[in-house]
Each structure stands twice: as C-alpha cells, then as structure tokens.
Amino acid sequence: MRALGVAGAFHTEFMAPALDGFAAAAANIATADPTATLLSNRDGKPVTSAAAAMDTLVSQLTQPVRWDLCTATLREHTVTAIVEFPPAGTLSGIAKRELRGVPARAVKSPADLDELANL
C-alpha cells in the first residue's frame, strides 16, 4: 500500500453523501458503448457497455481504487500503451513504475492529445 497525495477522501465511504446526486447527474449523460478497452479502477475488469461504464463510474465514488487489479489485467492483456484521462497523472506515474517499458501518458488537457499519436 502506498499513500498518494490527493486533495480529498475520494473513493471512500466519506463520499457517500454525494452518491445520490452523482448518480442522478450521471443518469442524465448521453453515452455510447466504448470503442476502446476501458478498465474499471474498482475491480480492474474491462467495461464493455455504456451502461456498465456509468454504473462503474458511479460506484467508484465510494469504492477504493484497485490499481493493483488494473495492473494485473494490463499485464494479462500485454498492453502496448496506457492512456490516463483527466484528472490524470497519478495512475500513469504508477504504471510507469509497475509496467516498465509500457509507454504511459496522462491526458491533462486537449493539448496533450497530440502526444497520443506517438504511442
């Protein structure tokens, strides 16, 4: 286990008071099934539908991040690159350490998207 420098008690039971409002807001977002593999940081498993992505996103609010399970899935699928979307930086940094040799990029702004072409 490693302590991370984060701004709040995200992904913990302390976020429970926000869960209903977050779920209601998420229910109003138009979504589409993913065209690339997305991993849930709740259980490390691929998310294959828009509905599952939104359910997972909502449940992640109060669940711990299981990056160890994501790393295991990434190894199992012998990934060739990792892209972390906003807010980004923490997990791609860990990926560089845990999955040496696999390029990892953190997309923090639209300007970072150009770098993805080089992966």
**Bond before 46 cis per omega within 30 degrees:** no
Q: Which domain holds residue 102?
A: 79-110
Domain count within the chain: 2
Per-residue pLDDT 10s for the chain (119 aa) are 667 677 778 888 999 999 999 999 999 999 999 998 888 988 999 999 999 999 999 999 999 889 899 999 999 999 999 888 877 788 888 888 999 999 998 898 888 888 888 88
Do 20 and 54 sit in the same domain of this protein?
yes
Residue 22 lies in a domain: yes
Report whether 41 contacts 66 (CB < 8 A).
Answer: yes
Q: Are residues 58 and 91 in the same domain?
A: no
Round to whole Å and give the CA distance between 44 and 53.
Answer: 13
Query: Which whole-number Å values give the CA distances from 10 to 4, 15, 17, 69, 81, in the listed order?
Result: 11, 6, 12, 18, 26
Q: How do strand 104-106 and strand 46-47 relate by DSSP bridges?
A: unpaired
